[in-house]
Amino acid sequence: MDHYASEPRRVVVTGLGAITSIGHTADDFWASLLAGKCGIERVSHFDPTDYACQIGAEVRNWDAAALWDPKEVRRNDRYTHFGFCAARQAVKDAGLEMQKEDGDRVGVIIGSGIGGMLTYENQLRVLFERGPRKVSPFTIPSLIGNICSGLVGIELGARGPNFGTVSACASATHSLGEAYHVVRRGEADIMVAGGAEASITPFAYASFCAMKAMSTRNDDPQHASRPFDAQRDGFVMGEGSGVLVLESYEHAKARGARIYCELAGYAASCDAFHITQPDPEGRGLKLSMSRALSYGGVRPEEIDYINAHGTSTPYNDKFETIAIKKVFGDHARKVAVSSTKSMTGHLLGAAGGIEAVACVKALQTGFIPPTINYAEPDPECDLDYVPNQARETKPRCVMSNNLGFGGQNASAVFRAI
């Protein structure tokens, strides 16, 4: 079928991949979330002594060259290592056999907020210290934000829609949403989608520190990311990737795939307010949440769990709480809300990818991950943030929110089947 579907198609999740500071597979990541494990430590990628923030959630004891052609690893940025390997995980988990699929009907959208930051820094150093003739010919392909999608497409022989979304910390959720629309309208049967980021680098840290956006709780890394807590003082950087396989319900059933859940609704919006600060009234996020529910045919009271953006910054957590109250009304007091960034740090453009994996696993297992480091309630953040311990509730519908600089908002609704 090379035309749009006559009716919108149901979109389901059939594969998961995740590489994070607390687990190098989706299952290990999920087990760590339920255990309340924190992946934040002193930065080891570079000497952070002179930086206001000296901590981060690094992916440690992980070697891309053990999982991918070492030549390709050398040619590509760390963010691509994460995204490519997470996509491989997701495809394997989905049981996809590409030799049985029509490559024209398979696509890839893997977003990144910043792309190859490490490549930028390393090659600028080469330019300034050794001259222009020493700059690597792989610099541009390595640093651009769509190259991960391209490489996954080459690996799979996937000739369908292929690009990368760039919308700061909403990038991965926008990737999933755009992939959802591609499948829903019949342009592809299968989409590999998510986000990847590797920005624990000197220049990125110097830049975010200059904004005073990051936590300076350097003497206590494990308790530095504390979303919704009254003593929160900024976000902590994380790195890694989360990738999902989305496909039409009909296609998944026809090939006998294991279906995790349905991606029922998605919406995006803009605060149209400020380049970095969320709207104090939560209007943009309210719009994306309301529309995601409406498009998915889900009533607010059907949502059992929200994986919040919850960055541990004073503004974000307060304004997100306001937006949730506006959308859910009285039900806001009953819905469980947690921020897994308390454990993983903030993966910027990859955040929505790993948080979507967490939402899917919540539906699959019947457990909700906690917000750890929640010790002192903030009167302006007064919802149920699932403090410090995972909870068994058997959710049926869950939502994931992500916000990005520029006023970007994205919300996705997942529903059990």
* Annotation marks residue 309 as catalytic: yes
Residue (of 195, 197, 102) closest to 152 by Cα position = 195
What residue type is 386 in one-letter code? V
Distance between CA atoms of residues 59 and 303, nearest Å: 32
Residue tagged 């960034």 (tokens): 341
Residue among 346, 359, 381, 397 flagged as catalytic: 346
* Annotation marks residue 169 as catalytic: yes
Residue among 169, 209, 261, 381 flagged as catalytic: 169
The residue length of the chain stands at 417
- For 74, the 3-state DSSP assignment is helix
Q: How far apart are the first and last CA of the chain?
A: 26
Q: What is the dihedral of CA 339, 342, 344, 349, to 10 degrees?
A: 50
Q: What is the dihedral of CA 362, 366, 367, 368, to 10 degrees?
A: 50
DSSP string for 271-310:
--S-SSSPPTT-HHHHHHHHHHHHHHT--GGG--EEE---
Distance between CA atoms of residues 350 and 186, nearest Å: 26
- For 393, the 3-state DSSP assignment is coil
Distance between CA atoms of residues 145 and 141, nearest Å: 9
Distance between CA atoms of residues 136 and 347, nearest Å: 27
Beta pairing, strands 240-248 & 162-163:
unpaired
Residue among 309, 359, 381, 397 flagged as catalytic: 309
Q: Which residues are catalytic?
A: 169, 309, 346
